[in-house]
């Protein structure tokens, strides 16, 4: 069963000590929202019976511009149909939970439990709760959360994980370009305390360049949360930002009882504009991710979302159109296809894919605009741009002209991002409201 986007709406009431709570019930308490996990009615935020479902932090605000919220949530597993299993990973439903396991040696990242839906989000939080069901051992290396790339050309992905072995329990963070993962953080100085039967909460949260990994033992009366943060940079020295992929549980060895999983997003719902593209739109070689043209648009108009990734093609974008539609952007600005030409995709294939993306978005109710491709040192996109100008209304086309490029001759440098931003503002800025 393929899940594109799941949203669950429950009637929410204010918590009080006399409620007869059931699993899945929603309440508010101290200005936060919670979902019941156990059927017991302890005070939310104190014990382990309630899971906080409200997303901290701000979005666009207002009656129409808001954070998307819950992308996926499940507290009772009758089967493993929401997932695809890779490697030696197993997932078997029993008593409303999933018994998940693998025998993977440390650091191989080959055993995975992968959520079906495809995503291009770079603002999300994955949270799972699980119990360790067997004693720690030299080959019990733990559990990770992150993105598994589905890009047709290059895998840019990451995992934040907690290790369980008979020597050191700790948090780690790793990135990959291709199939090889590189550890970036090894939190050896902050060991994590746990034993068989303890209920563990592990979360990984990405907010553009920042990825935070947190783990907490909910069975012990300890408020300590072990956490680490990793920061991507636009020059890829700190690894390359993730591209299109799927939310993933990385099984690194051991057997666990998975009790719940949820994915939340702080990305705008009903955004004024969503930019869709590849590494140029994502912000490679800008001075920072905050100064790429999509971020500059959000700073100016307060409500511009971005759904782009490095090395993405029109084929990649087609896999996430359903997600984009679920976020209900009012307007969409497309700049996708340079990697089609770079990797030898026939012009006709690009054209068919591009027009299909546009058609699906228009059918969903979005106003679609087209940012013409800007030439690179080694590639000319006159054929792509001619198709766009011959096919779509002139009032829906943005032409940034020749923009300043970085030393790679491919991506806009910071001046180029300013030039693209100014072209968008001058040509369709009055329409972004």
139-153 confidence digits (pLDDT tens): 667 899 999 989 878
If DSSP codes are grouped into helix, strand and coil, which group holds residue 342?
helix
pLDDT of residue 61: 35
Tens digits of residue pLDDT in 182-193? 778 877 666 677
Q: What percent of the chain has pLDDT over 70?
A: 87
Note the pLDDT of residue 104: 65
Res 422 pLDDT > 50:
yes
Structure tokens at 97: 């939970």
CA dist., res. 311 & res. 308, Å (int): 9
pLDDT in the model for residue 164: 79
Is residue 10 over pLDDT 70? no
Mean pLDDT value across residues 415-427: 96
CA atoms of 189 and 215, how far apart (whole Å): 15
Residue 165 pLDDT greater than 90, yes or no: no
Whether the pLDDT of residue 2 is over 50: the answer is no
All domains in the chain, ordered by first residue: 1-54 (2.10.10), 61-266 (2.60.120.200), 270-431 (3.40.50.1110)
Terminal Cα-to-Cα distance of the chain (whole angstroms): 38
Q: pLDDT tens digits for 48-76?
A: 577 666 543 333 333 478 889 999 999 99
Q: What does DSSP assign to residue 117? A: -
Q: Is the pLDDT score of 84 beyond 50?
A: yes
Rg over CA atoms, the chain: 22
Q: How confident is the model at residue 166 (pLDDT cuts 50, 70, 90)?
A: low
Position 253 confidence tier, pLDDT thresholds 50, 70, 90: confident
Distances (CA, A) of 13 to 101, 168, 246: 37, 43, 33
| pLDDT-wise least confident of 3-17, 106-120, 215-229, 316-330 | 3-17
pLDDT of 30 = 77
Query: pTM higher than 0.85 for the full model?
Result: no
Evaluate whether 399 touches 389 at the Cβ level (below 8 Å). no
Q: Among 64-68, 81-85, 208-212, 299-303, which stretch is predicted with the lowest mean pLDDT?
A: 64-68
Q: Which residues pair with 126 in a beta bridge?
A: 204, 263
């Amino acid at each position: 069963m393929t899940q594109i986007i799941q949203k669950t709406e429950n009637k929410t009431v204010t918590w009080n000590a006399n409620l007869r709570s059931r699993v899945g019930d929603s309440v508010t308490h101290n200005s936060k929202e919670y979902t019941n996990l156990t059927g017991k009615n302890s005070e939310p935020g104190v014990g382990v019976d309630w899971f906080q479902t409200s997303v901290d932090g701000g979005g666009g605000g207002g009656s129409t511009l808001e954070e998307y919220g819950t992308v996926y949530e499940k507290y009772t597993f009758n089967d493993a149909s929401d997932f695809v299993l890779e490697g030696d990973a197993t997932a078997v439903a029993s008593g409303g939970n999933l018994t998940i396991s693998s025998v993977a040696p440390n650091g191989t990242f080959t055993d995975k439990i992968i959520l079906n839906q495809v995503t291009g989000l770079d603002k999300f939080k994955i949270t799972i709760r699980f119990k360790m069901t067997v004693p720690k051992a030299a080959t019990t290396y733990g559990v990770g959360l992150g993105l598994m790339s589905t890009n047709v050309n290059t895998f840019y992905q990451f995992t934040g994980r907690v290790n369980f072995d008979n020597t050191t329990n700790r948090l780690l963070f790793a990135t990959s370009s291709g199939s090889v993962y590189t550890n970036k953080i090894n939190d050896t100085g902050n060991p994590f305390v746990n034993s068989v039967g303890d209920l563990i909460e592990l979360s990984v949260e990405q907010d553009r360049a920042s990825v935070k990994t947190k783990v907490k033992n909910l069975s012990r009366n300890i408020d300590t949360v072990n956490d680490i943060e990793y920061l991507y940079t636009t020059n890829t020295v700190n690894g390359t930002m993730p591209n299109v992929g799927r939310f993933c549980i990385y099984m690194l060895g051991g057997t666990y009882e998975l009790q719940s999983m949820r994915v939340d997003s702080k990305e705008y719902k009903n955004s004024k504009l969503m930019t869709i593209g590849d590494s140029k739109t994502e912000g490679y070689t800008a001075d920072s991710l905050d100064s790429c043209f999509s971020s500059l648009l959000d700073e100016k108009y307060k409500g511009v979302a971005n759904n782009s990734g490095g090395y993405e093609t029109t084929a990649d974008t087609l896999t996430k159109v359903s997600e984009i539609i679920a976020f209900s952007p009012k307007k969409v600005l497309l700049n996708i296809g340079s990697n089609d030409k770079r990797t030898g995709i026939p012009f006709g294939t690009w054209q068919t894919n591009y027009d299909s993306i546009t058609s699906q978005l228009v059918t969903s109710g979005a106003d679609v605009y087209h940012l013409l491709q800007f030439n690179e040192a080694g590639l000319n996109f006159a054929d792509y741009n001619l198709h766009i100008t011959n096919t779509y209304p002139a009032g829906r086309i943005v032409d940034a002209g020749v923009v300043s490029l970085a030393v790679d001759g491919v991506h806009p440098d910071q001046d180029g991002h300013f030039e693209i931003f100014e072209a968008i503002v001058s040509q369709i800025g009055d329409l972004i409201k």
